[in-house]
Amino acid sequence: MNDKQVQKQAPFPNTFLIGIQKAGTTTLNDWLSQHPQIYCYNSLKDIPLFVKFPQPEQLNKRLLLETPAYNNEPVVLHSAVNYIFYPSLLQQIKNKQPNAKLILILRNPVARAVSSYFYFKKMMREQHDIEKALIYQPKKNFEITRDNNDFTYIEHGFFYEQVKQCLELFSREQLLILEYDDLKNDPDKLLQNVFHFLNIDESFKANLAAKNITGELKSKVLQQGILKKSSARKWIVDHLINPWLPVNKRKLLKNKMFELNTSKQKASAAETEISEETMKKVRAKLKEFYLHDTARLDELLGTNFYSKWFGHDIIPKD
């Protein structure tokens, strides 16, 4: 590598889709990446840049692998659902890009937790039954680990504290808060809202296909083949795949395989195996966790998520 290549700098994100988990971030990332004025690091979706690549040289080298080539798009986007979840990651964004624009999608926290559970069952990560997995005493402090990313179902729904921490670092004008139901029911209007926030062409029409649907697996064998780690698989990747398929393209191919192996018309097998009585119990217990938090979120933002998500229940007092 010559000196010119060493000194080359990849475009650093100036816009971040920061969460939340299982609220349509993959779908929104795909829609935004289609806009001709947005350059998106798609192969790094859901990889917090500052954790995976702690050194600036490492990060720049990885960003340079991304395709297609940057063409001076005014918006450079990176999306990772756990940015909002860990204050240290928000601080890293603040340190690297203090004027960044942030986009956050919120979803009914009960529905979000349940969807997340079924997703990780499909991904063969979750082995516990739904009551053991979802109903427990929430953790107060935790490090950035894969398990804490995936299995903290309840904690991800405490939006008040997450948004409050974000607004301690960034101004309200830098944060656009969207709602999952709007993404599902009125995507054109939602996108126009985002394009306005980003100060780019609001007339652009994206292909509005949904991504990362939980759904039912078409082939459990194929899913196991994609996910299962072994010494044989590592040898194949190191010696046969790596030389021909760069890591950025490999990640996109893997995501495409997950998508093709999921039926969007059928509920997951795990969903159909759980009784309606059990689901009612789980949802009622989860709701108890979120009533007070959602009321505080509305007070902070001047929103009405409480009534949208929980109807006319009495708002709890401090």
**Is residue 120 a part of any domain in this protein?**
no
Cα-Cα-Cα-Cα dihedral sign, residues 268, 269, 272, 278: negative
**Is residue 260 a part of any domain in this protein?**
no
Q: How many CB atoms lie within 10 A of CB 252?
A: 15
Gap between the Cα atoms of 55 and 53, Å rounded: 6
**Is residue 49 a part of any domain in this protein?**
yes
Please give the pLDDT value at position 142: 85
Give pTM, 2 decimals: 0.82
**Is residue 229 a part of any domain in this protein?**
no
Please give the pLDDT value at position 65: 84
**Residue 287 burial class via C-beta count within 10 angstroms: exposed 0-12, middle 13-18, buried 19 and up:** middle
Report the amino acid identity of residue 127.
Q
What CATH number did the domain enclosing 17 receive? 3.40.50.300
**Is residue 231 a part of any domain in this protein?**
no
Place of tokens 């964004």: 93
Gap between the Cα atoms of 52 and 85, Å rounded: 16
CB 46 within 8 A of CB 132: no
Q: Which are the contacts of 133, defined by CB distance < 8 A and separation ≥ 6? A: 117, 126, 151, 153
- DSSP lists the bridge partners of residue 19 as 104
From first to last of its 318 residues, what are the pLDDT tens digits of the chain?
Answer: 454 445 689 999 999 999 999 999 999 999 999 999 999 999 899 999 999 899 999 999 999 988 667 899 999 999 999 999 999 999 999 999 999 999 999 999 999 999 999 999 988 889 999 999 998 888 888 899 999 999 999 999 999 999 999 999 999 999 999 999 999 999 999 999 999 999 999 999 999 987 656 556 565 555 555 556 666 656 665 655 666 566 666 566 655 665 666 665 655 656 668 999 999 999 999 999 999 999 999 999 999 999 999 986 556 555
**Is residue 114 a part of any domain in this protein?**
no
Gap between the Cα atoms of 3 and 90, Å rounded: 33
Please give the pLDDT value at position 219: 58
Please give the pLDDT value at position 75: 98
**3-class SS at 17?**
strand
| Cis bond before residue 103 (omega within 30° of 0) | no
Domain count for the chain, please give it: 1
**Strand bridging mode 175-179 / 101-106:** parallel
Please give the pLDDT value at position 273: 82
**Is residue 177 a part of any domain in this protein?**
yes
**Is residue 197 a part of any domain in this protein?**
yes
Please give the pLDDT value at position 1: 46
Q: Which are the contacts of 231, defined by CB distance < 8 A and separation ≥ 6? A: none
Q: What is the domain range of residue 164? A: 3-108+153-211+290-310
